[in-house]
Amino acid sequence: MIAELAAFNAAFSVVKEFVANGKDLSDCFGFIGQMTTAKEDLKLKTDKSNFTSDAEEFAALEQIKQAEQELRELMQYYGRAGLWEDFVKFQAEARKARLLERNERIKKINQRWQYASIIVAGVIGFIGMYALFVVASAILGG
């Protein structure tokens, strides 16, 4: 959790520095992307309860919320009209795409496990039938 929050804060600091130095917001969209990725990673970790306390989780999410509000203001003041709204829409679409990709990956992994289980069951069945044949021929033939 600390690493994701640190990555988010570092990227946000760079964005603020770019704007303070008079550079265009488009020059720092890579860092804004890093913020988004760090936020998503942090959300995944909060879903798994990796915080030592609820207060720690709340503080981290509140810090991100404040930084995003500041980013919104930067985009509204220094970006083109509608930039923030387009950014939010893009984030939502990208989040959905990542979720679909993740679900497809999980589906493929589960399918592979299912195939592996069928193969193992077949091998065990074959070994069992062979053992039964060996025992039966020893009893009957021997």
Angle (nearest 5°) at CA 28 between 26 and 34: 125
pLDDT of residue 23: 81
pLDDT tens digits, 82-94: 888 988 898 888 8
List, in order, residues 6 or more apart from 84 with CB less than 8 Å away.
72, 75, 76
Instruction: Report residue 113 as tokens.
Output: 């496990």
For tokens 């980013």, what's the residue? 71
For tokens 């679409």, what's the residue? 93
Helix (H) / strand (E) containing 125:
helix 83-141
Residue 1 has pLDDT above 70, yes or no: no
Q: What is the mean pLDDT of residues 25-39?
A: 82
pLDDT tens digits, 58-76: 888 888 889 889 988 888 8
Rounded to two decimals, the pTM is 0.59
Instruction: Report residue 49 as tokens.
Output: 């309860």
Q: Which residues of 6-28 are buried (b: 16+ CB within 10 A; e: fewer)?
A: ebbeebbebbbebbeeeeebeeb
pLDDT tens digits, 113-128: 999 999 999 999 999 9
pLDDT of residue 52: 63
